[in-house]
Structure 1
Amino acid sequence: MELTTVWFVLITVLWCGYFLLEGFDFGVGLLLPVLGRDDRERRLLINTIGPVWDGNEVWLIVAGGATFAAFPEWYATLFSGFYLPLLLILVALILRGLAFEYRGKSDSPQWKRYWDWAIIGGSFVPALLWGVAFGNIVRGVPISRDHEYVGGFFNLLNPYALLGGLTTLALFVLHGAVFLALKTDGDMRDRAGRVAGRVALPTVVIAAAFLLWTQLAHSDAWGWALSGAAAVALTGGVLAARARREGWAFLGTGAAIVLAVIALFVTLFPDVMPTTLAGGDSLTTTNAASTPYTLKVMTVVAACCTPVVLAYQAWTYWVFRRRLRVEHIPAGGH
């Protein structure tokens, strides 16, 4: 296997990890006003992701860095063409991170309400815009022969990409509800399970429509197989959630997200950013890649560091595996 293909696969894995882990983070943030009836319950919800949310974002940083190093042409065209939506995502993530850190610095209800909305907005914007961005990458955008994006912002707001945004938004809400049912106990666990049941059908319909549109447009055999597997996993997760088997439900929604991301990347390959212009030139794993020497050095570094990072993050999740109850949150605390 060529190193360009190896790094395309590795970047796919990084995005799978990011959407799998940060997906339930975003879902918890989006459900904050739905499940958090008072400050104590909202603190409970935040505490479920408190030990892991910043570690989950490492996957995004590494994915961006790997793209920059392995496929600099892809990185340059992507960030120049998608500048505004990516900037909005970055601002939202910064505000969200600040909210987690500063929400408990004051007992003022107004202060906490402000940061609660920062968490909600900071979860909504990326959950929606990541789907829009990837929808445009798979669909293709106007790229010239010089590998420059020649479209405008409104070119990105096409029906297919917007459906992609709704898909990631719905999947993350469902994934977050299932995670909360798995991570909490008592009344919060019951309510999270009921929310998961209510959002399940719309999520299945939206995700199925997006994956079906994708495969009808590209007619890729592997894409069809992976999309079908994602649909089965999502259905299984929904059924497990209704049966109060939260562990299996989380496995199902997580597998559906991972399989859907793999399906998009498989459909995209060997392109990394196709053009919609008749006289344009698509970016591929070949013409967008770094030099062979750079890829060799990166491969050695990744082979040494990746197992350590994975082991540490797995250990973090194991340490903080216990369920939380409202009674674990001190009354009147930060």
Structure 2
Amino acid sequence: MDLPLLWFVLIAVLWTGYLALEGFDFGVGMLLRTFARDEKERRVLLRTIGPVWDGNEVWLLTAGGATFAAFPEWYATMFSGFYLPLLLILVALIVRVCALEWRAKINDPVWRDRWDWALTFGSWLPSVLWGVAFANLVQGMEIELVDGTHQLTGGFLSLLTPFTLLGGLVTLGLFLTHGTIFVALKTAGPIHVRAARLAHRLSIGSGIVALVWVLWAQALHSTTVLTLLPAAVAALSLIGVIAATRRGREGWAFALHTAGIVGAVAFIFTTMFPNVMPSSIDPAFSLSIAGAAATGPTLTVMSIVALVFVPVVLGYQGWTYWVFRKRVWVSDIVGDEGLHPTEERVEAASGPSAGRG
């Protein structure tokens, strides 16, 4: 068995899981300030992703860990070349986690408003930067061999081209649409109706942008006709989303939009093949799957571990989605959440150190 190729495919699957699941989390976060009309609606949006968002992020950790273990040179070259974008993504994700965890701790409008803006920032920025990063893997980067190692020599600005910036708009549009469809799927009442209408409009715009980018990539950066298959899957799925949202079939729309993201990721990885990081300077400098792979024993052990534990993780995450499958109504939001600031001060004043003197 060709273990490097197997792990190349498995890493593509892990990225697919992350972008498809975390994608709607980002979309909901982007809707928080612009779509929700009041505090109850904002709490409804957050409740739709509340039970699942942290599990969705595990896919990113697993994809990064698998790349580090299976393709150490790919990991080193990518993380050094993408240092600033990945740092910005990491900061945004940390801010986003803090917002999701701390927003409900204190019942104060100013406190909640600040964390709402933090969650918005932590959702919009990664949505753009992930697209820029993957578009660079398709376009190729200014990679050279320096002292026997692959290094990005073009600098940060070489990552920003019209093609890669359009890639950022693609992921931004797809995630925003994905999140809106998810809100329509998970809510009921007036907020559901508004989300369904918005999802239809967004599906048209994001689908057009994605189609333009895929055609551009196929024309200039693809070296095989095999990439036409995942491109067709993505295109047909996104067209199906437009029809499904028009008819109010948000379940079908979400499934088809997920299939569109799967097709898009498959298109990216088949375009890269047989490399993991193509060089735009000279194909001889490209980092190939075989050249970046770890040793055979390492990949064998990883394959055994993955065979045992991946089904367990998938089963648990599937069970979580099943348990929390019910729709959320605005009427479900009752009472306030978090302590009032005055209660916080009273608790602090009456704490263990209050009587010391």
Q: CA deviation at 1:299?
A: 0.5
- Which has more radius of gyration? 2
Report how many residues are paired: 334
1:159 corresponds to 2:171: no
1:261 corresponds to 2:265: yes
Q: CA deviation at 1:283?
A: 0.5
2:214 aligned residue? 211
Identity within the alignment, %: 54
Say whether the 8 Å CA contact 1:238–1:252 is kept in structure 2. no
Q: CA deviation at 1:331?
A: 3.4
CA distance in 1, matches of 2:61, 2:104: 26
The residue type paired with residue 271 of structure 1 is N
The residue type paired with residue 216 of structure 1 is A
CA distance in 1, matches of 2:151, 2:159: 15
1:197 corresponds to 2:209: no
2:308 aligned residue? 304
Q: CA deviation at 1:43?
A: 0.7
Which consecutive unaligned segments of at least 5 residues does structure 2 have?
339-357
1:249 corresponds to 2:247: no
CA distance in 2, matches of 1:279, 1:5: 19
Query: What TM-score comes out, normalization by structure 2 length?
Result: 0.92
1:171 corresponds to 2:174: yes
1:5-34 per-position Cα deviation (integer Å, ceiling 9, x unaligned) = 000000000000001100100000011122
CA distance in 1, matches of 2:282, 2:250: 49
CA distance in 1, matches of 2:310, 2:156: 36
Question: 1:31 is paired with a residue of what secondary structure?
Answer: helix
The residue type paired with residue 164 of structure 1 is G
1:222 aligned residue? 226
2:352 aligned residue? none
CA distance in 2, matches of 1:276, 1:293: 32
Query: What TM-score comes out, normalization by structure 1 length?
Result: 0.98
Q: CA deviation at 1:156?
A: 0.7
2:298 aligned residue? 294
2:349 aligned residue? none
Q: CA deviation at 1:158?
A: 0.7
Q: CA deviation at 1:280?
A: 5.5
Q: CA deviation at 1:219?
A: 4.5
1:122 corresponds to 2:126: no
Say whether the 8 Å CA contact 2:203–2:241 is kept in structure 1. no
1:271-307 per-position Cα deviation (integer Å, ceiling 9, x unaligned) = 0001112386111111101001100010000000000
Q: CA deviation at 1:332?
A: 2.8
Question: 1:144 is paired with a residue of what secondary structure?
Answer: strand
The residue type paired with residue 68 of structure 1 is F
Say whether the 8 Å CA contact 1:226–1:262 is kept in structure 2. yes
Instruction: Tell me the C-alpha RMSD between the 2 structures.
Output: 1.0
CA distance in 2, matches of 1:10, 1:279: 25
The residue type paired with residue 195 of structure 1 is L
2:346 aligned residue? none
Pairs within 5 Å for 1:67-106: 67-106=67-106
Q: CA deviation at 1:102?
A: 0.3
CA distance in 2, matches of 1:135, 1:200: 21
